Amino acid sequence: MTIDTGKVYRLEDYRPSDYAIRATDLTFRLDPRHTRVTATLSIERREDAALDAPLVLDGDGLKLLSLTLDGTQLPTGGFEATPDRLTIARLPKGPFSLVIETELAPEANSALMGLYLSNGVYCTQCEAEGFRRITYFLDRPDVMSVYTVRVEAPKASAPILLSNGNPVESGDLEDGWHYAVWHDPHLKPSYLFALVAGDLGRITDSFTTRSGRTVELGIYVEKGKEARATYAMDALKRSMLWDEEVFGLEYDLDVFNIVAVSDFNMGAMENKGLNIFNDKYVLADEETATDVDFANIEAIIAHEYFHNWTGNRITCRDWFQLCLKEGLTVFRDHEFSADMRSRAVKRIAEVRTLKSLQFPEDQGPLAHPVRPRRYREINNFYTATVYEKGSEVVRMIRTILGAEAFRQGMDLYFERHDGDAATIEDFLKVFEDVSGRDLSQFALWYHQAGTPHVSVSTTYDEARGELSLDIEQSVPPTPLESRKRVMHIPLAIGLVGRNGGDLDAAPVDATSFADGVIHLKKRRQTVRFAGLSERPAISLNRGFSAPITLASEQSVEDRLFLARHDSDLVARWQALNGLLSDHLIETSKTPAQQSNMAGRLAEVLGAIAADDALEPAYRALALTPPSEADVAREIGSNIDPDAIHVARNTLVDIIAAANREAFEALCGDLQGDDSFSPDAESAGRRALRNVLLDYASAAQGTPELAASQYRDATNMTERAVALAVLAHRFPTETQTVSALADFEARYGDNPLVLDKWFQIQATIPGDAALARVEGLTAHGAFSIGNPNRVRSLIGTFASSNQTGFHRADGTGYRFFADRIIEVEKRNPQVAARLATAFRSWRSLEPGRQGHARAELARIAAVPGLSTDLKDIVERTLG
Ligand SMILES: [Zn+2]
């Protein structure tokens, strides 16, 4: 691991490399302890580089065996090699060839960056800077090269040999070894390099592109798990077709392979032609995967596939531009899922994710712009801001330009920049060029951190039928940016009449309003509508057109009305969610003050549950009150997680009691036949039924309903939810104890399902939570070295167990800090990601703040801390 040097990288320091690597030929002779890598690099000085510019290649913990320049072994004095750098001062004027031999020990690589072994399978992870753990290289995304890769390994242990591009040749070698050669004709940066070798099972299929080329598709999984990869294959084929139909983009190689491995730091990786996945995002069947798993697999298969154009064919000039590929590709996978599923339900899920993951980032010490200007450790910038807010920014471009001009802009982007390492400026320029608009103010979304706040106050002139909206925007200060500039915010609105329909209204001044969208470009702005026949309820930020926080003076009556009648389902959900959230905030502060609001909310939820005009998936979302973490975020300061927990439970009990018979009846009606389909509509019915199961169990106060659902479940969605209801509501009942034991016995040999078992127990609230989680770390199936397992137990405890993690005595923090320190020794990246769970510590009440600060300081004081963890901890401490 790299020990922190304190070096900070700045966007303004960017300059092109002095040398280009035109071709990269790699030979791997694989061995767990002594893998030999021979890299033959065809190098050329760039035209504007100084004649005497030295060649400085990146390394990370490398062992150099030999170095040959144009066929001559370089003498020891002719270069300088450390594990982290290779410098050659005297070089030929023209193009030259450099052969570098290094030796690696994949077996000892517990950081899971570079070449490592996962369950006996060799695999690689090179983004962002893992390639330098394989060989010395100009390991930066703007150095693009054509790769040819030869892999040699024993045939018995590694019958499958894969790399990027197309297969060229393969054959047998002496001593039971064999080899395969792969060639990727497309220029690519080193972070997209991949290699896989091992004994794997596979399923195959093919896809014919619209120009008539046949692409061989393969998904490789651990042997015996092949049947569980069929949904992923189906999702892949749908993704390929969708990208042709919606963006006109066709796949460009003869083969496309996906490999699933069980030890992986991230979700998945878009290596050219050879995507490598965390197996949790590939393997699924009804018995072992929930509907959420199916939806995630569909989305992530699509995401990585879509990178082939947005990321691979057009890559990032430098890592500051990470959002260029990620924000855009997240936007594309969101659109894909919206087309495959219900658009409104998908959008609400996106908004919830954005608010629960990105808003706290923007509001805390780790806030950074979508395109950061400085970093110490790039691995720490794979954040919700870069991904999710990055996607929102692309969505706003489409809102501002309209769908047609947006597509023209995308077409121009591919035409103009194919084969480039591009920047955010390049991306914005294509939209300016096709639309003739000036997007310079809009570009602040990329450059300025923080969630903009918009407040709206309204006056209605009954006599003149005129409505006036006074709108004000501001961006709260964030670390390193105390003063903020005024942004261009596209705010979609609707004026809803008493019959629930949208009223026709003409803007008095049309310059800042078009097609239902107000373009806020000033700090204060007034928009007037005339010709209204009645006072409308105002539906704001429809479709969540801008990722902002919003305050508006609206009566409870109007909000309740919108929660039932807004024609925009996303805004309808927002109205309801806002009411629930406000009520929870109020009752968590003054518990005794149970106004009649709870009763009215229970009534609205009852009506929504019974409303057949609404799709079940929407009803399930609407019936789920904001999480404890959501409420904490809305409160923002002096947070007492215990009070929020009580308030939320109280509200759930009131809703459950008020609708007891109706919910029980509906729960019964939704019980479908036994045939399972993972499609969105069936999943929606299961989701609604599961929400109702929780309410019904709360109303009855006994575990019978959940226990019987657990027993009779015919799929994992029903079984896992029943187990969660049992564990969370009735943790000590015998039915719960035996269901937990049954689940463990049933799925003990399936790591992905066992992760759910850990997860469910990690989220049981209350006093016993910490002891329970501590006990589970001693469970035979728990492994501190497997990222999925660590995330499911330790990560889930910190992120989703508000009362357990935030214990008033600080022991939850101490336990968590100890685990972070333990994980860091093996895997700094995973440790750093875990540590972000401390990001909102300043919002807590003073006692908890003190405990959290002490634990952060304790981590920061550990000698020899990695850059990854030190960077997060120090920024979090501020
Ligand atoms: Zn991505």
- d(CA 231, ligand 1 centre) in Å: 20
Residues 282-293 have a mean pLDDT of: 97
- C-alpha count within 13 angstroms, C-beta hemisphere, residue 751: 20
550-571 pLDDT, tens per residue?
Answer: 999 899 999 999 999 999 999 9
Confidence of residue 593 (pLDDT cuts 50, 70, 90): low
Which among 622, 606, 539 has a CA at the least distance from the CA of 573?
622
Question: What is the Cα–Cα distance from 648 to 630, expressed in whole angstroms?
Answer: 11
- d(CA 334, ligand 1 centre) in Å: 12
3-state helix, strand, coil in the chain (%, to 5): 45, 20, 30
Name the E strands within 46-143: 55-58, 63-69, 72-73, 80-82, 85-88, 96-104, 114-118, 121-125
- d(CA 422, ligand 1 centre) in Å: 16
Would you say 423 and 324 are in contact if contact means Cβ atoms under 8 Å apart?
yes
Confidence of residue 506 (pLDDT cuts 50, 70, 90): confident
Q: Give the pLDDT score at 2.
A: 59
613-669 pLDDT, tens per residue?
Answer: 999 999 999 999 999 999 999 999 999 999 999 999 999 999 999 999 999 999 989
- d(CA 330, ligand 1 centre) in Å: 7
329-344 pLDDT, tens per residue?
Answer: 999 999 999 999 999 9
Which among 301, 327, 283, 295 has a CA at the least distance from the CA of 240?
301
Q: Give the pLDDT score at 508.
A: 86
Residues 6+ apart with CB under 8 A from 811: 770
- d(CA 324, ligand 1 centre) in Å: 10
40-89 pLDDT, tens per residue?
Answer: 999 999 999 999 999 999 999 999 999 999 999 999 889 999 999 999 99
Which among 40, 61, 10 has a CA at the least distance from the CA of 828?
61
- d(CA 683, ligand 1 centre) in Å: 26
Question: What is the Cα–Cα distance from 713 to 721, expressed in whole angstroms?
Answer: 10
- d(CA 676, ligand 1 centre) in Å: 31
- d(CA 301, ligand 1 centre) in Å: 10
- d(CA 141, ligand 1 centre) in Å: 15
Three-state secondary-structure class, residue 182: strand
How many Cβ atoms from other residues are within 10 Å of residue 431's Cβ?
23
Residues 817-845 have a mean pLDDT of: 97
Please confirm, yes or no, whether 304 is among the known catalytic residues. yes
Confidence of residue 673 (pLDDT cuts 50, 70, 90): low
Three-state secondary-structure class, residue 97: strand
> Catalytic residue among 127, 222, 286, 304, which?
304
State the DSSP H helix or E strand holding residue 202, giving kind and residue range, or none if neither: strand 201-208
- d(CA 310, ligand 1 centre) in Å: 9
Residues 568-578 have a mean pLDDT of: 98
- d(CA 763, ligand 1 centre) in Å: 28
What sign results for the dihedral spanned by CA atoms 188, 193, 196, 201?
A: negative
Confidence of residue 510 (pLDDT cuts 50, 70, 90): confident
- d(CA 515, ligand 1 centre) in Å: 32
- d(CA 300, ligand 1 centre) in Å: 8
If you average pLDDT over every residue of the chain, what do you get? 96
Would you say 625 and 580 are in contact if contact means Cβ atoms under 8 Å apart?
yes
User: 66 to each of 20, 38, 86, 99, how far by Cα in Å?
Assistant: 22, 9, 12, 8
Q: Give the pLDDT score at 723.
A: 98
Q: Which two tokens stand for residue 355?
A: 């608010």
